[in-house]
Structure 1
């Protein structure tokens, strides 16, 4: 593995991101639902991201110990899946995974009737699923402001429960598009659910096998919007994307209208070109937190003051992404200032250095968010292999655009 990758400044970009991955969010949900449906579905264009490849391998694993590495979605979905399918498993992961809370999901599963023990720190992996004697309750209350993945995990197993399941969501609902994505995929495989403002109702049903093709990943596409925004000249084509997408991160289209990128579908490809940008961006990232790092870097470079809300969940991702952003933005003269627990201001850079070295904190999104700075300066990115988590061929696509890399 390389310790770093160096990108030489390249200000004109034209080409196609041929290696844009399929959506890992959709892929991982499809794999869990397919397993609950008996495993007979034809699933096409599954993501080659490491998170999905882990899910593909682990969902049918007979091993008693399941190592999800750094894949949070895989950890949460498999915890619920193994619980209701009465599989005795120990789930573990990297040192960072052992710092990411799972108590809300475990508490919900315990309320249902699953016996789960923590093996090290209370409320955190690793944990052991011991048994599921049977469903004890039909309704569970769970916070909606921590992670939508807990909610999606419970939604997907709900049809298999004899009484179905009603989820009462308390507090602010974060990443709601991911909950809607889960409901849409459940419907595709024959299970209906009702989404209300603060409630999800899923009756007992049987999933049915169905063919399904996964669309490209909008989170991955967001980095090419950043390249287009920061380059002096750009015409970038992105394959297999739908403007009518299940993915909440398709909101990047609307954000980038403010930040100077126009996106239109032409002959099955999404074409990105430059346009005028505004001097301020006001945006609530509650429902698309994975876009925050990308957008912060763009604002920092284009002299756009950002007024952000909805960043709270970034603290429990692969790293504390707020702290990581603050550290790395300061290297280019910008800053992400916390006004209070719900409001942040992005202070843009007055002048960029000629070059900079960026740490990635074992976080794929940190690496890809700062890579587009290669349109303005020479950059060096620490541990480039972290992108395998969601976009294994990211650097290959960068090379195809003529950006020199060593």
Structure 2
């Protein structure tokens, strides 16, 4: 097992070029493939999740292994089912074979797709025979993974009759659905919310165009966390390639961190133009944080760690999708925070809270990452307050391959074993 022991720099003042948004990259890649793949987007993410899609689309082998990339599994299922690219077996890691996909498969079957399970019913691997689909109307529970809905929306413009999706009950992760609709429209599609619970995609094909992908607000969250946990009052980080008014759901990080005393300053606020964002302390933070992460669940680990290390009790809700991520993130957070001396409680697998309860902390805690990139990324900034070890640090390649290189350039010392 590989381990990294981290040591923080004495002075935190640096400029960092963030990775490109994998959320936008993956959506744009599928759209470009539906257009025939003649022109790839510029500033494409180099993370694992995007690389597996690039490789699959380039080679189109009979067996496509998307490894641990949940987005790739959902998006490629819809793509392969709706295009005349022959028959494929779509598979992934052992964890992926236990992540549910029945809701998406059922929806595609209702549109006429030919998909069968090659293993356990309701889970990958899938055997998919590609064909043109007519489209039509679907009804899907709104509290399922937004990636199911996004996968369907991406193929919507190419369906003969378009697509109408009615979402029932509570709608979670709405910003990710809005990001998908925005990306569709960037490529000329006619797609919109036509009522509070219904999305309509009309049968108007995509238009090919040069496309530049902005950088990743999710990756920005870990640099916000470093500024927050640094004891240096004039700590400053400058992040390149972010946009004011971004459609990325995790751009809400700037608002949430303002509650924890971090100020966000844009060099330019010109719409649609990436710019440099400067992070600084403003000296004031809330004494307790209550927040509903229903629209940005991937930020949960960042704020659980930050609040505990800043001694800020919290109550976080809207976490129902965390159990079906790369790992059971609620269980993982409770386990690893206990190593640091914090006792967290969960409610009905969809809420996490910390009321200040503590236990004996380990002297040099080794944080397990559970094949989950966000565990390594979110726990690393703890080193500003105490020494830590990160187990299996390579997991960051899923979304932020250059993370450890960026830390060293900023002044971190990483002892590798």
- Give the TM interval when normalised to the shorter protein: over 0.9
From 306, 330, 341, the counterpart of 2:314: 306
Change (3 A) 1:241 1:348: farther
SS in 1 for 2:59: coil
Using CA pairs under 8 Å that are at least 6 residues apart, name the structure with larger relative contact order, 1 or 2. Answer: 1
Between the aligned partners of 1:400 and 1:272, the Cα distance in structure 2 is 18
The reply to whether residue 288 of structure 1 matches residue 296 of structure 2 is yes
Change (3 A) 1:11 1:327: farther
Matched residue pairs, number?
Answer: 403
Change (3 A) 1:395 1:193: same
| Alignment check: 8 A CA contact 2:330 2:349 kept | no
User: Which residues of structure 1 form unaligned runs of 5+?
Assistant: none
Between the aligned partners of 2:74 and 2:59, the Cα distance in structure 1 is 16
Between the aligned partners of 1:236 and 1:131, the Cα distance in structure 2 is 47
From 360, 377, 382, the counterpart of 2:386: 377
Q: State the Cα distance separating 1:94 from its structure 2 match.
A: 0.4
Between the aligned partners of 1:316 and 1:72, the Cα distance in structure 2 is 10
Match of 1:330 in 2: 338
Q: State the Cα distance separating 1:33 from its structure 2 match.
A: 0.6
Residue range with higher mean Cα deviation, 187-196 or 219-228 = 187-196
Between the aligned partners of 1:133 and 1:37, the Cα distance in structure 2 is 14
Q: State the Cα distance separating 1:349 from its structure 2 match.
A: 6.6
Q: Where do 1:9-88 residues align within 5 Å?
A: 9-10=8-9, 12-18=11-17, 20-87=18-85, 88=87
| Alignment check: 8 A CA contact 1:43 1:211 kept | yes
User: Which residues of structure 2 form unaligned runs of 5+?
Assistant: 269-274
The reply to whether residue 258 of structure 1 matches residue 265 of structure 2 is no
The reply to whether residue 271 of structure 1 matches residue 271 of structure 2 is no
| Alignment check: 8 A CA contact 2:83 2:130 kept | no
Q: State the Cα distance separating 1:343 from its structure 2 match.
A: 3.2
Between the aligned partners of 1:187 and 1:14, the Cα distance in structure 2 is 38
Q: State the Cα distance separating 1:354 from its structure 2 match.
A: 5.0
Match of 1:297 in 2: 305
| Alignment check: 8 A CA contact 2:9 2:410 kept | no
* TM-score normalised by length of structure 2: 0.93
SS in 1 for 2:245: coil
Match of 2:151 in 1: 153
Between the aligned partners of 2:229 and 2:368, the Cα distance in structure 1 is 20
Between the aligned partners of 1:342 and 1:100, the Cα distance in structure 2 is 18
Residue range with higher mean Cα deviation, 8-17 or 220-229 = 8-17
Change (3 A) 1:360 1:248: same
Between the aligned partners of 1:10 and 1:354, the Cα distance in structure 2 is 20
Between the aligned partners of 1:342 and 1:53, the Cα distance in structure 2 is 31
Q: State the Cα distance separating 1:11 from its structure 2 match.
A: 5.2
Between the aligned partners of 1:134 and 1:288, the Cα distance in structure 2 is 32
Between the aligned partners of 2:328 and 2:213, the Cα distance in structure 1 is 30
Match of 1:225 in 2: 224
Change (3 A) 1:308 1:11: farther
